[in-house]
Amino acid sequence: MAHIISINVSPKKGTFKYPVESADLRVDLGIVGDAHAGNWHRQISLLGQESVDKMTAMGVDGLKPGMFAENITTEGIELYSLPVGTKLKLGDCLVEVTQIGKKCHQDCEIFKKVGKCIMPLEGIFVKVLSEGSIHTGDAIERANP
């Protein structure tokens, strides 16, 4: 079953995110207390641990959740294959996929180290449709086919 393995936030843009046990999600905001929160289409970023493992296999050592600036690290779901518009339940919250991938910041630490970053290809972005709290270990389910 797909689930959240890490929730990551940062108070400032351009820095690694750090893990927290839980987070509050708000409509028109995203994750309360995260620097990337706001009323826009990229409120929350998600990246699969399976994608992080690809970078580890390329020789990038010491990767931890949040190092790709993802808010939520998942396991058991191929995020980048979900079409835009897909609705997901994260615990009791409902989110909608708004974007797959993004332009890479070539000055990010991962790109500097290996000349490649997985987030621009396999990371996704969502906006909050139904607010509440999420916790490490919460299930992730598709809310529509």
Q: How many CB atoms lie within 10 A of CB 75?
A: 16
- The predicted pLDDT at position 91 comes to 92
Do the bridges between strand 72-75 and strand 44-48 make them parallel or antiparallel, or are there none, so unpaired? parallel
- Supply the mean pLDDT for the chain: 89
Determine what percent of the chain is predicted with pLDDT higher than 70. Answer: 89
Structural domains for the chain = 3-142 (2.40.33.20)
What CA–CA distance (Å, rounded) separates 134 from 25?
7
- The predicted pLDDT at position 101 comes to 84
Do the bridges between strand 22-26 and strand 44-48 make them parallel or antiparallel, or are there none, so unpaired? unpaired
Query: Which pTM value belongs to this model?
Result: 0.90
